[in-house]
């Protein structure tokens, strides 16, 4: 079960322990994090063995963990951390290589909460600092409620929703002229899924539960960089009864397959004669993401109208909310993952708060609901 966000008290800072065998990286990360008043770097360690000792001594809230280290590497350290310090948040530092991506996916499967691409030696120090500020700091903060932010009790799992119930994120309005249709109205023809932080683990639990006879095509956006999405697809394909692959330009959308948007490309669906095909592009990011869930969901609405099952799983931010608004107004069925089973209840929480989810379910109940909805005449 995922950890809920911890409420920080006024004046309390998020305590971070940096674990990396590179002196340069340790200094760079320390400097970047020290510029944010809500964060405190309480120590560093050059390998996993030292890190385990300092966790006991310093009681950090978050661990940034390198993968390649002497004596005890990142995966070995992660296994020990998950066993001995289950409440400690862990963010992996990954290299943008095939090996780095594969090991990162393994780390996520072992219980790492998130990852960032490790600063490269290319570019200026200012560029490296800016990227760390823009990527690492939000990923640390996503696990905490800062002073002034409040938690409202989420709905009981499995309940249908008609009004907003979660007030961390302001509800947005439905496009003018559209009427929201609460509850299923149209027999579905496609399943669309959006997911971010915690996604590989969530997808690894959900998708293998769908039977080989699942009657709908599945299109999916997972926020990940290039190469990571291909390896994720390969990993899922080895465990799922349905075919899973990274989407390619022009590929046909058909039942029996799960198509994952490639990293750094928006994925859309478009009519192709009597069928539907995949279109990829590198238009500007939406919600700071490419691929973006909103891009996919909006195109799904253009092609399929309300004949859609839309699922929002664990993730930071609000990507997917605008697309869900459009789909819901056309009569689509919407399922959101509940807070207790989410690594971060940002994306599903935003949809739930806006009153757009027909069901808010624990991860282990979603597959059964999707099979039920897909079989509706």
- Examine residue 291 and say whether the peptide bond preceding it is cis (omega within 30 degrees of 0): yes
Q: What length does the chain have?
A: 377
Helix (H, G, I), strand (E, B) or coil at 212: coil
Greatest distance between any 2 Cα atoms in the chain? 65
Query: Which tokens in the block code for residue 148?
Result: 């002034």
Q: 275-293: string of b/e by CB count within 10 Å (b at 16+)? A: ebbbbbeeeeebbebbbbb
Set 20, 113, 114, 319: catalytic member: 319
Set 196, 298, 299, 342: catalytic member: 196
Q: Are 163 and 171 in contact (CB under 8 A)?
A: no
- Look up 124 and say whether it is catalytic: no
What are the φ/ψ torsions at residue 95 (nearest 5 degrees)?
-95, 150
How many CB atoms sit inside 10 A of residue 173's CB? Answer: 9
- Look up 223 and say whether it is catalytic: yes
Segments in 155-287 forming alpha helices (H): 199-206, 228-237
Cα 241 versus chain centre, distance = 23
- Look up 182 and say whether it is catalytic: no
Set 66, 128, 223, 294: catalytic member: 223
Instruction: Give the chain's end-to-end CA distance (angstroms, integer).
Output: 34
Long-range contacts, 151-156 (Cβ 8 Å, 24+):
151/5, 151/7, 154/338, 154/339, 154/340, 154/345, 154/349, 154/352, 154/360, 155/338, 155/352, 155/360
Q: Looking at the annotation, which residues are catalytic?
A: 196, 223, 319
């Amino acid at each position: 079960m995922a950890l809920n966000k911890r409420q920080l008290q006024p004046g309390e800072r998020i305590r971070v322990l940096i674990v990396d065998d590179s002196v340069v990286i340790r200094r760079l990360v320390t400097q970047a994090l020290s510029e944010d008043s809500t964060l405190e770097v309480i120590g560093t360690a050059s390998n996993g063995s030292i890190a385990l000792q300092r966790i006991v001594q310093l009681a950090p809230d978050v661990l940034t963990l390198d993968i390649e280290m002497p004596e005890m590497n990142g995966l070995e350290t992660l296994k020990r951390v998950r066993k001995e310090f289950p409440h400690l948040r862990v963010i992996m530092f990954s290299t943008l290589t095939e090996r780095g991506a594969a090991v990162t996916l393994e780390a996520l499967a072992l219980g790492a909460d998130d990852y960032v691409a490790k600063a490269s030696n290319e570019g200026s120090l200012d560029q490296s600092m800016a990227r760390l500020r823009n990527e690492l700091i939000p990923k640390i903060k996503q696990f905490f409620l800062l002073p002034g932010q409040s938690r409202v009790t989420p709905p009981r799992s499995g309940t249908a929703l008609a009004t907003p119930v979660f007030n961390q994120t302001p509800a947005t309005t439905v496009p003018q002229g559209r009427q929201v249709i609460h509850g299923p109205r149209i027999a579905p023809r496609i399943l669309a899924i959006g997911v971010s932080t915690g996604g590989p683990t969530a997808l690894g639990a959900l998708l293998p539960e769908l039977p080989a006879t699942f009657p709908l095509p599945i299109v999916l956006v997972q926020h990940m960089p290039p190469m990571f999405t291909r390896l994720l697809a390969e990993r899922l394909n080895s465990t799922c009864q349905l075919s899973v692959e990274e989407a390619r330009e022009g590929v046909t959308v058909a039942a029996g397959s799960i198509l994952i948007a490639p990293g750094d490309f928006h994925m859309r669906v478009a009519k192709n004669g009597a069928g539907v095909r995949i279109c990829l592009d590198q238009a500007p990011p939406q919600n700071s993401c490419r691929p973006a869930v909103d891009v996919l969901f909006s195109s799904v609405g253009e092609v399929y109208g309300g004949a859609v099952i839309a699922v929002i799983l664990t993730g930071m931010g609000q990507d997917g909310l605008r697309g869900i608004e459009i789909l819901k107004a056309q009569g689509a069925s919407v399922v959101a993952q509940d807070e207790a089973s989410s690594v971060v209840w940002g994306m599903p929480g935003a949809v739930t708060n806006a009153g757009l989810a027909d069901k808010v379910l624990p991860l282990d109940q979603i597959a059964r609901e999707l099979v039920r909805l897909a079989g509706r005449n």
